[in-house]
Amino acid sequence: MRNACLVVVDAQNDFMPGGALAVPGGDEVVPVINRLAARFENVVLTQDWHPRGHASFASSHPGTKPFEVIQLHYGKQVLWPDHCVQGTAGAAIHSQLDVQKAQLVIRKGHHRGIDSYSAFLEADRKTATGLKGYLKEREIERLLLCGLATDFCVAWTALDARSAGFETTVIEDACRAIDLEGSLGRAWSDMTKAGVRRAQSAAL
């Protein structure tokens, strides 16, 4: 699979049970991803990496609460509890994730005023992370996505991967979702429409 790359999205402590923005069952993906990663020559990780006072934090907008939606200069933004603050234990990749072979870690969400669910383009839909250029230069054509959360960072990354021309598959049992007011169902329907494939790890 020289032209394929496994992209492990945000497998970080703050998205695990007990973390600041815990995704139900988030830790269950770790052994599944470890089994998958053993079979890939190319592995890339993403890491949500926010400065203190980030625009996606409810704590940065007095009078708001986590999970409310507000309007920012680039459009709608869900407000989250403070999470994945640069350099904190919560921002670290899960210690059981066997990622020694990963060749690149894309850190995203580091501009204070712009969120970035996608590993390709920030929420202003203009600022690129550089991942597309990296993968194209490595002649990668197929992306297999796993990690957290299915309906936010995995889905946005998958949709942008399709726009960038990659054959894209989301490995469902290697992901877990936040599922805010139907967001998981919407994410799957958007991904299916965009030509993202849905697979189970056992079938790969």
Residue 48 binds Zn ion (CB under 5 A)? yes
Which residue is catalytic, options 5, 10, 48, 160? 10
Is the separation of the CB atoms in 59 and 82 below 8 Å? Answer: yes
**Residue 155 or residue 203: which is nearer to ligand VGL going by CB?**
155
Cα separation, 177 vs 159, in Å, equals 16
Nearest to 83 by CA among 108, 100, 63: 108
Which residue is catalytic, options 5, 48, 82, 108? 108
Helix, strand, coil percentages for the chain (3-state, nearest 5)? 25, 25, 45
Residue 48 binds ligand VGL (CB under 6 A)? yes
Can you tell me which of 5, 7, 10, 159 binds ligand VGL, judged by CB under 6 A? 10
Is there a catalytic annotation at residue 76?
no
Can you tell me which of 80, 120, 166, 188 binds ligand VGL, judged by CB under 6 A? 80
Is there a catalytic annotation at residue 173?
no
Site for ligand VGL in 122-181 (CB under 6 A): 148-149, 152-153
Is the separation of the CB atoms in 191 and 170 below 8 Å? Answer: yes
The helix or strand, by DSSP H or E, that contains position 132, with its residue range, turns out to be helix 131-137
- Footprint of ligand VGL on this chain (CB under 6 A)? 10, 15, 48, 80, 117, 148-149, 152-153
Return the active site residues: 10, 108, 153
